[in-house]
Amino acid sequence: MNMLNRETVDPVSPAALVRLAEVAVAAISHVPCASLRGPQRGRRPIARARQTAMYLAHVAFGLTLTRVGICFGRDRTTVRHACALIEDRRDDPALELGLSALEAGLVALTGRLNAAVGSEVRP
């Protein structure tokens, strides 16, 4: 079976998907979006929120580490490190529940957005 990269199939742009993850994480962590995009690492809550947003962008949307890194102004190895850190933390049941809920919500939202955008494109 020929698997296509999700980035080439979805009508919603990768940058928009990353911003959705960013806004969702900013809302639950009470960290401003601007802090997540900032060039500095920031204090632990800011760094953790950024890592979570990167993780969700990669896992929930299937975006490449390189694409996520570009959107956050980071290197792909930084995104890989963030994903590894968050994955290791999923052993905590409370964090697992929260991440699963965020991931499911983001996937459902983008499914609706893709359907809406796709219906606008069709004649």
Instruction: Dump strand ranges (E) for 6-65.
Output: none
Q: Are 84 and 54 in contact (CB under 8 A)?
A: no
Going by C-alpha positions, the residue among 61, 98, 97, 57 that lies closest to residue 80 is 57
Q: Which domain holds residue 26?
A: 11-118
Residue 29, in any domain of the structure = yes
The model's pTM: 0.82
- 36-67: pLDDT as tens digits: 888 888 799 999 999 999 999 999 999 999 99
Rg value, the chain, Cα? 15
CATH number at residue 17: 1.10.1750.10
- The pLDDT score that the predictor gives to residue 115 is 80
* Per-residue pLDDT band at 11 (split at 50, 70, 90): low
Q: What is the mean pLDDT of residues 79-108?
A: 95
- The pLDDT score that the predictor gives to residue 114 is 77
Burial (CB count <10 Å: 0-12, 13-18, 19+), residue 120: exposed
How many domains does the chain contain in total? 1
**Per-residue pLDDT for 7 more than 50?**
no
Q: Are 114 and 7 in contact (CB under 8 A)?
A: no
Residue 80, in any domain of the structure = yes
Q: What is the mean pLDDT of residues 75-96?
A: 96
Residue 46, in any domain of the structure = yes
